[in-house]
Structure 1
Amino acid sequence: MDPVIIVGAGPVGLALSLALARHAVPTVLLDDRPAGDAEEDGRPAGPRPARTAVLRPHTTAFLDRLGAAETREHGAPLAGWRVLRGGRTQVRVEFGEAAGPAPLHVAQSALTTTLAALADNSHHVEVFRGSRLTELTQEPYGVNVRTRAGTWWHGSWLVGCDGARSTVRKLLEVPYAGRTAVERHAVAAVRADLPWPGEGVLYRGAPRSGPGAECVARPLGDDRWRLDWLLPPGGGVVTPEALVARLEATLRVWTGTRHPSYELLDTGVHTVHHRLARRWRRGRTLLAGDAAHLVGSLGTQQLDEGLADAENLAWKLGRVWHQAGRDDSGDDLVDTYVTERRGAISARLRAADQVRPLLRRAGGLRAAVRGKSAAELLTDGHLGRGRIGGPPVYATAPTGLDGTVEVGTVPGARVDDVQVIAPDGWTGRLSERLGGDPLVVLVAPGTRVWDRSRWLQAGLMPKLVRLVGELPARARLLVAETYPGAAPHTVLYVRPDGHLMAAFAGVREESMRLCANRMLGRPDDAEE
């Protein structure tokens, strides 16, 4: 079977190649920039402290499974979050055991470096830099591409992760419609002693204080911070002198000193565009990340969404690659990637378009947007929660199955990261077992205090062990002491990317077989 060709060795392309490697799928990673070449904006390649991303906890867990836990050492988890208006706290969020895991703020260069090192050391990934695409042709069972050097490559599938100016998307002649410059931010990375150690802060100026009064500060560790000032629409060029003046004025207010001490590490202007490719698939060629979409207003994070594309696509493409020639369900399964991820981004863009005009004008906010204040809505965006920034609920979850029950997670949503135990005695978080086979999770209180040899032979376990081995898709069995909203003996069927397919009252053999087939886009009566 031919490898999967991935175009673009940024974080999304690298993460996708590593995720496919976990499924033993070989990939050829083509990137048009030679090692050490300049970045798109003309600056020398290298660490850019002002170019960062905030990753939601489940995205960080995805990177951990790829072997990129080192990323945590180069970033800073938010100890908390607060929204201030004129110095008065409007919203306060703390993270920890009770409040749940924190988002991680990390420099993109550190993430890319970590992923690139993993790809270079993977037996399933070959990276070729300085390989710019000039031609793309497709066959019924493969894709051919030609690079500027005249080299032809043949792959079973191709995924374009080559950025907002995607060559793959242009060769496919896919329109990339949307809105230009929906937000602009002046950005500075500094080393300074701010009064909120480890916390993210959204500081909104006093009413009628004029444009540019909204500023976000996010910690990067070691007293380093990224500061973003919202610029007025249609603003002109931000000169270095104007940015430094803005920085010093902000630090004077925050620190209460006339001459605040700081070290300027990096500056820039971040322009947010909203775009959505009309199609994410033509034949055996797919789009992901910046090549497929651009989001980012109201604190939402484009890189986080791109990594969600990689996680969603990897297990599906891995399954299809290994099933080639054995059944014809591959097209339907790959199409669910397009349906789910494009639908999620489209909903994200619609929500931003509806809410943004209300947040940028005075008055009427609480009554206008489902009872939430401006501060609460902006918190949702920055922390990846709620309608603006929360994980999607995929509408492809099966319906009409017998024996289903309601739990604290609706079908199609991401499951809670509860403590689990495997039949071999392994214990840990549910998220640690994602990314491979589907998971079947039995809710069984008291499991931890029983002898393992006893609970493996007790109650529903023998029947469930047998069923898991007979399902159309190989699955892993786990046991949880509790799960939010679930009664004892509830059985959860969880996709490899952590989204709930269905919850059952006990062991429902026929319904679980149907659930497995529908997850794979196969007929209800299909067998493995």
Structure 2
Amino acid sequence: MNPWPHDPVIVLGNGPVGQTAALLLARWGVPTVLLDLRRSRDLVGSKAICQQRDVLDVWEAVGARVAAEGVTWDTARTYYRDTELFSVRMADAGRSPLPPFVNVSQSRTEQLLDQRIAGSPLIDVRWGHRVTEIDQDADGVWVSGPEFRLRAPFLLVCAGARADGLRAGLGVSFEGHSFEDRFLICDIRAELPDWARERRFYFDPVWNPGRQVLIHPCPGGEYRIDWQVPPDYDASALAADTASGALDQRIRQIVGDTAYEVTWSSVYRFHTRCVDRMRVGRVLLAGDAAHLYAPFGARGLNSGVADAENAAWKLAFAGWDGTEREALLESYHIERHAAARENVAVTSATMDFLVPQTAAEAAHRRDVLARASADSAEARARVNSGRLYEAYWYAESPLTTPDPTRPHPVRPPRGVAQAPAPGVLIPDLPLETGGRLREVCRDGLLVLVAPGGGPGAVRVAELAAEELAPVPARAVGMAELSAELPGVLGARGAEWWVVRPDAHIAAVVTDEAELRAALRRAIGHPGEPATHGAPVGPGESGESSKEGSDGVLPAAR
């Protein structure tokens, strides 16, 4: 593999989204400078704790075994007062060895990612670097602070929710709103074995009347409890409750006489905001710098990691190509802004149900919950305690070739997996030769050859090489990987399945002309011939509402 032909990419923000992006870029052989304004890492509190299977899979790809560190849970229970309304078990379209969700503190996740970064010579971490100005021209980006000025071919901004100055300097808006109600969070250590593998959500429990409580198990015998509290509850109120014993009473109403220890507590408000652009020239925005969601559904960090993966392979391919692929870079904004808009819609609907703003909305919620507790299936379906994070589907991305023979993907009921189709994340399976399907997918573009006749993997590999150089591509027979794979995918006859480096299905085609066009389209060159050059591959180191004509994809729910 030839050396990266540019200066290092700059990643701004050494939180889990920036860490992930740097590690993924290193996996493609791309050096990065990872900047953070803090002097060191702040390893306090649980913060973002719910990590979903597809995100765990990304971290596995860079050697960070986050799944092994967390508390696995596969059931989410929802209650109205003391009546269980329903439980949801997370479905898997394939047979992934990774759990549906694990709970692990953000601090521990950051430590595990730091360990991987420390072993990569391609990542240069620099603490105490406050970026005050970003300038760009046709050839690169200048990143400046009080005592430094750096040049990069691309900049990925993962600087968190407080990056107002950077967003303003880039000319992007961050519209949305903040919720008045506040939430009190406590991490406690206690022995509660019956709750050790479940997420529990309570509407209007007797120990928090008129409001909600959410309880999550965490490693080390810890539990995180979130209480919805009045809008005027703040840090001083928390301090007063701690001193008076009112906080102890809150906790005792949940855990009873069990001994416990508070390890961290805080008060916070929820925000829903989204930038109008996630790409400005050579600058991409990711994670909380681009979007903020209420946490019910665990869509914050999980979505940020998906941003990082989408950005990493596209920056790598754009830089290696030499033509810097305008369409490929723009697809980052199109795809991930659509994902952000969907998350805004999903979490806003949840907050409308959790925190009704009018008397009519409050009456509607009481009616739905009462009917749900009386065993009305129709009412239970209307109870919204937060739809848990799912990978976004790029069904209408400019990189995706539609398949008119397969139904257009729509979000199924909660707890149900969507059948594979173009735009959908491919199911994972263990392979007969060892390893997993997703691991094979993440080495470049992959063409899976169905066992139904037509040109085999050798011919498909030749076509891919002709169309995609210098982008790495591989063709392989489905049955060679796993006897289960054709059935899991629903492959028919002589089909070729094109899979992107982020494991999303880009196309299902049946002839060579379609395959050539689908391969070009998958890397942002629809209808254009390939540009040939040196190959590149992973490094050793590592519901729907149509938007207007602004390039935003429909938000599928």
Do the aligned residues in 1 keep the contact of 2:403 with 2:508 (CA within 8 Å)? Answer: no
Question: What is the identity, as a one-letter code, of the residue corresponding to 1:35?
Answer: S
Q: Report how far residue 319 of structure 1 moved.
A: 0.2
Measure, in 1, the Cα distance between the counterparts of 2:169 and 2:187. Answer: 37
TM-score of the aligned structures, taking structure 2 as reference length:
0.79
Write out aligned runs for 1:358-437 (5 A).
358-360=353-355, 361=362, 362-363=365-366, 365=368, 373=380, 377-378=384-385, 380=387, 383-385=388-390, 391-396=392-397, 408-420=419-431, 426-437=433-444
Q: Report how far residue 247 of structure 1 moved.
A: 5.5
Q: Which residue of 1 aligns with 2:326?
A: 331
Gaps of 5+ in 2: 1-5, 356-361, 408-417, 533-557
Q: Which residue of 1 aligns with 2:161?
A: 164
Matched, 1:487 2:492: yes
**Structure 1 SS opposite 2:435:** strand
Matched, 1:77 2:72: yes
Q: Which residue of 2 aligns with 1:189?
A: 187
Q: Which residue of 1 aligns with 2:520?
A: 517
Structure 1 residues 276 and 59 mapped into 2: Cα distance closer, same or farther (>3 Å)?
same
Structure 1 residues 401 and 303 mapped into 2: Cα distance closer, same or farther (>3 Å)?
closer
Structure 1 residues 183 and 21 mapped into 2: Cα distance closer, same or farther (>3 Å)?
farther
Q: Which residue of 2 aligns with 1:7?
A: 12
Measure, in 1, the Cα distance between the counterparts of 2:117 and 2:207. Answer: 51
Measure, in 2, the Cα distance between the counterparts of 1:315 and 1:23. Answer: 8
Matched, 1:22 2:19: no
Stretch moving more, 337-346 or 85-94? 85-94
Matched, 1:121 2:128: no
TM-score of the aligned structures, taking structure 1 as reference length:
0.83
Matched, 1:502 2:502: no
**Structure 1 SS opposite 2:488:** coil
Measure, in 2, the Cα distance between the counterparts of 1:485 and 1:202. Answer: 36
Q: Which residue of 2 aligns with 1:351?
A: 346
**Structure 2 SS opposite 1:502:** strand
Write out aligned runs for 1:112-511 (5 A).
112-149=110-147, 151-166=148-163, 167-181=165-179, 184-194=182-192, 195-206=194-205, 210-212=209-211, 214-233=212-231, 235-237=233-235, 238-242=237-241, 248-249=248-249, 251-255=251-255, 257=256, 259-324=257-322, 327=323, 330-360=325-355, 361=362, 362-363=365-366, 365=368, 373=380, 377-378=384-385, 380=387, 383-385=388-390, 391-396=392-397, 408-420=419-431, 426-444=433-451, 460-472=456-468, 473-478=471-476, 479=478, 480-481=482-483, 482-487=487-492, 489-505=494-510, 508-511=511-514
Structure 1 residues 304 and 372 mapped into 2: Cα distance closer, same or farther (>3 Å)?
farther
Q: Which residue of 2 aligns with 1:51?
A: 47
Stretch moving more, 370-379 or 27-36? 370-379
Deviation string, structure 1 residues 117-140 (Cα, Å, up to 9, x no partner): 322321211111111123322121
Question: What is the identity, as a one-letter code, of the residue corresponding to 2:196?
Answer: P
Structure 1 residues 27 and 183 mapped into 2: Cα distance closer, same or farther (>3 Å)?
farther
Stretch moving more, 113-122 or 229-238? 229-238
RCO comparison, higher one (Cα < 8 Å, 6+) = 2
Deviation string, structure 1 residues 441-498 (Cα, Å, up to 9, x no partner): 23449xxxxxxxxxxx998344434444444243223424232433355431111112
Structure 1 residues 312 and 246 mapped into 2: Cα distance closer, same or farther (>3 Å)?
farther
Stretch moving more, 278-287 or 21-30? 278-287
Deviation string, structure 1 residues 153-178 (Cα, Å, up to 9, x no partner): 11111111111121432332432221
Question: What is the identity, as a one-letter code, of the residue corresponding to 1:30?
Answer: L
Q: Report how far residue 92 of structure 1 moved.
A: 2.1
**Structure 1 SS opposite 2:269:** strand
Do the aligned residues in 2 keep the contact of 1:408 with 1:486 (CA within 8 Å)? Answer: no
Question: What is the identity, as a one-letter code, of the residue corresponding to 1:162?
Answer: A
Measure, in 1, the Cα distance between the counterparts of 2:234 and 2:394. Answer: 40
Matched, 1:86 2:81: yes
Measure, in 2, the Cα distance between the counterparts of 1:183 and 1:300. Answer: 19
Stretch moving more, 165-174 or 302-311? 165-174
Structure 1 residues 54 and 66 mapped into 2: Cα distance closer, same or farther (>3 Å)?
same
Do the aligned residues in 2 keep the contact of 1:15 with 1:307 (CA within 8 Å)? Answer: yes
Measure, in 1, the Cα distance between the counterparts of 2:493 and 2:230. Answer: 55
**Structure 2 SS opposite 1:296:** coil
Question: What is the identity, as a one-letter code, of the residue corresponding to 2:440?
Answer: R
Question: What is the identity, as a one-letter code, of the residue corresponding to 2:517?
Answer: L
Structure 1 residues 315 and 417 mapped into 2: Cα distance closer, same or farther (>3 Å)?
same
Q: Which residue of 2 aligns with 1:42?
A: none
Question: What is the identity, as a one-letter code, of the residue corresponding to 1:284?
Answer: R
Structure 1 residues 460 and 218 mapped into 2: Cα distance closer, same or farther (>3 Å)?
same
C-alpha RMSD over aligned residues: 3.2
Measure, in 1, the Cα distance between the counterparts of 2:91 and 2:156. Answer: 37
**Structure 1 SS opposite 2:49:** strand
Q: How many residues align?
A: 487
Measure, in 1, the Cα distance between the counterparts of 2:258 and 2:438. Answer: 43
Do the aligned residues in 2 keep the contact of 1:436 with 1:496 (CA within 8 Å)? Answer: yes
Measure, in 2, the Cα distance between the counterparts of 1:438 and 1:309. Answer: 19
